[in-house]
Chain A
């Protein structure tokens, strides 16, 4: 893997966007009950699916099946969703997703229940 380009590192602008997204998400901080499961399921299958495959079996991005994620815990997966993987095309989703939403997605990927 090549050296991590500095432009990938989080800039203050993205922190502001993230803060705005969190503010908009509002009650998402309240936890599981506050997330919109239908919206997040659609996001994972359709938008994550553009790289990871709509059946989550992989594409330009790695497979995200429960089997594939066996050795990762939900917290690590949520961290990758929010922060991205520098030096790869995996973007940080925190401008668009709250921590609660990322955690919800991570939990459901682990369980293999998104379809």
Chain B
């Protein structure tokens, strides 16, 4: 009996691992449940050519901005030299990190928490001596900034935007007049009428644009 139960356990465990491999191979149910994280082996599945940092700022009632990361009691660097907030690429939890900094510090009333993504091409991470061997051009790093998310002062999500690299990829695709025309054709839309300046500028009516019959 004990051996039968053991055999059942062995078969069940191997079936579970096999299910993970099949799901991962076929892209099936990979994000269906947190438990899938424990049977999908997708280490280093992604990559990006831009290095990014997340800056969590508090916007005060006076219009002043305050850095909420690193927190005044110090940053936690889990896997290297950069702070914990940078390992939240989906900006799911950075709002809570900002709220935590607000909760334990003195400050003016804060209206909202703003998350700014700073990015630069990873080639600029090369140390100077290797840069000089690899490139003829001078090293002229420039950061680009992108509004990643906005949270209320209590951490409620107000707005979340895609990653900077995703925005670039979208721009690449959408910079196509034919595609934009296709996208707008046949879709209802709202009209913004400047003549209605003193009233609501949004006219609650929709229009269909289609090919003439």
Q: Do A and B come from one complex?
A: no
